[in-house]
Chain A
Amino acid sequence: MAPDNLPETTHGDHTPVATHEPIPDPGLPAHQWRPTDVDPKAERRAERQVASLFVLAALGAVGFIASYVIFKVGDNPDTIANLGASNLMLGLCLAVTLLGMGAGMIQLARKLMADHEIVEMRHPAASSQADREAAVDILKTGLDESGLGRRPLIRNTLLAAGGVLGLLPVVMLRDLGPLPGDKLDHTIWDIDTWTPEMQAWWTTQNRTLQRVVRDVVGTPIKVTELEIGDLVNAEPEVMFAVDAETKQPIVEGTQLLVDKSKAAVILHRMLPSDIVSAQTLNWSVDGIVCYSKICTHVGCPISLNERTTHHLLCPCHQSTFDLADSGRVLFGPAARALPQLQLTVDDEGYLAAKRDFTEPVGPSFWERG
């Protein structure tokens, strides 16, 4: 190895570079003592500091146990200064304990432990030339003795077997999920996609058109109930359907969320004269338009409507759609217009969907076309 701090070689090709190094290494500076090493008073003071930090840590632990017992949680929790008492006190006591321990150990190391700097020599990361040669020999011997080099048939069949074996875990993952099929092309607005249970309920209703109902409360909507400027968050009525005998919702749990992720809609009433595109006008009822609530970018639900401009803004990535103009994209990363649902009025005067969306709802995918 070259002397002092000079590298082994300089150019990659082993030609040495000018070595007019200006200053030689002065060596490690002389060790200087700390006040706690030479002055017994300073030493005792540091000891007291460290000890009191450890005592503080112990007290913190006791405080933690006390807080655990004293402060209640549950439906009527204790509070301190409008903060949850249990969380606050447990956390503060734990912090005191841990910080006390840590500070004590660090102060001990800094002030009282021997702090002579030690020199340890490095060794090159590479193994020695002898070792390398020995390794090559060993590998050669091993390969030789295995006979694989001389037996191409065995080697090739071994490789083939190993390769096929590696496919097995991949195959085993096939049942992770069903194939998409055409599921993404339909929503629960399409009565033909309903389960038998839902169909059974539908026959009791004696209607052909599915109503648009208010979200959370599930009540159907009459045209006269909405004023110009109203924005309604709505769902298909089957989501609130209840089985007459069991009194249980027909669509619930994770299936309800799956259906909501495509079927959620918004209704907005504007002046019919504000509507720009012919399709939007044709599919509206008296200025009430209905659009999918699911953004065509990556699927967040949208209901930020700027009433004065009827621009609908998605909160996730700020895609903006024009509700008066077929849901056209005005700004932001969404590439496709918001799908519109054709509205009509059923026999009893409630708003209903004429049929399902005419295009897939939600984020784009390869097969969408």
Chain B
Amino acid sequence: MRLLNRPLGRLSRHRRGPVAGLLVVLLGLVLTGGLYAAFSPASARENDSAAQIKSGRQLFLVGCSFCHGSNGQGVKTLDGNQLGPSLVGVGAAAVDFQVGTGRMPAVQLGPQVQQKEVTYTPDEIAELAAYVASLGPGPAIPTASDYSLAGLTDAQREEAIARGGQIFLTNCTACHNFEGSGGAMPRGGYAPKIRGVEPKYIFEAMLTGPQAMDNFSNGNLSVDEKRDIIAYLQSLQDNPDYGGFGMGGIGPVSEGLFAWLVGIGSLVGVATWIAAHTARTSKEKAES
């Protein structure tokens, strides 16, 4: 009885006060807003707010406009060559790929822009992508569900990987090699190594055709086909090296090198051992 009859606390006395209702509403708003901010999925794609585009433009003006123009329209040199191409219509996917893999900003202009350390943070990349996307409609950054095999049965997964392999061998290995080790293009260009590259970037590269690479738009290779190719590449990486170390995955050239250096080298070494002068002594053998 004493529990029920204890005197009321200080807070409780204010429960019927004039500002009590206002405080409750404020508390409710804070809670709801805070929970929403904490638990809602943060997606850069869905968040093309004007703020993102604005900060993206700031970043663009500082780091990209020298070659691509202050409005992304591209810059032509005096003798008619292109310094940086127009970015109108390349879409967020192209920016995410180029900046996210470190190719852009380009530092060393040559036959092909090299991949190097990434200069921007993921947020900054998202902002740049939003800005460039705002210049003109273009391919969007893919979501993970575009290239994941989740939701498929084992049999369907296996079929997708096998089909992906056939599509890969038809469309991609001519430039990138059977294991994705890369290959040569004319005049110093090259198709880079795609083994070990994030699935998102592979998808974006196919979609946007960076530098001299052809496009494989969704009308050329559908989203499912791209997914299958990525799944196949993943499976290649996940597989054990059945026969031993791969020696770089470039085929007969490295095999021949190893045959000569390791094989003939060690066997000539063994021959030298077999025929070498053995230790001699000046002592005489005791006649037994």
Contact = CB atoms under 8 A, between A and B. Distances in A.
Complex: A in contact with B (CB within 8 Å): yes
Interface of A: 32-35, 37-39, 77, 79, 82-84, 87-88, 91, 106, 109-111, 115, 214-217, 221-222, 224-233, 268, 301-309, 311, 313, 315, 318, 320, 331
B261 to A, nearest CB: 18
B244 A88 contact: yes
B167 A307 contact: no
Nearest to B240: A79
Contact of B174 (A77, A222, A315): A315
Contact of B216 (A82, A115, A230): A230
Contacts, number: 124
Contacts of B167: 216-217
A229 B274 contact: no
Nearest to A222: B219
A79 B240 CA distance: 7
B214 A305 contact: yes
Contacts of B219: 221-222, 224-227, 230
- Residue among A77, A233, A268 with most chain B CB within 10 A: A233
A231 B217 contact: no
28 contacts: A32-B281, A33-B280, A33-B281, A38-B281, A38-B283, A39-B281, A82-B240, A83-B240, A87-B243, A88-B244, A115-B278, A217-B225, A221-B219, A224-B219, A226-B220, A227-B220, A229-B214, A230-B214, A230-B215, A231-B215, A231-B216, A233-B170, A303-B171, A304-B175, A304-B183, A304-B185, A309-B212, A318-B186
A83 B280 contact: no
Nearest to B168: A216
Given A84-B242, A230-B219, A33 B183 contact: no
B214 A268 contact: yes
A278 to B, nearest CB: 24
Interface string B177-211: 00000010110010100000000000000000101
Contacts of B216: 230-231
B279 to A, nearest CB: 6
Secondary structure at the B interface, as helix, strand, loop or mixed, is loop
Interface size class of B (residues with CB under 8 A): 35 or more
B186 A320 contact: yes
B143 interface: no
B186 A331 contact: yes
Nearest to A87: B243
Contacts of A32: 280-282
Interface in B148-167: 163, 166-167
Interface in B70-84: none
Given A79-B240, A304-B174, 14 more contacts: A32-B282, A33-B281, A35-B279, A77-B242, A84-B243, A115-B278, A216-B166, A217-B167, A221-B219, A230-B214, A231-B214, A309-B186, A309-B212, A315-B175
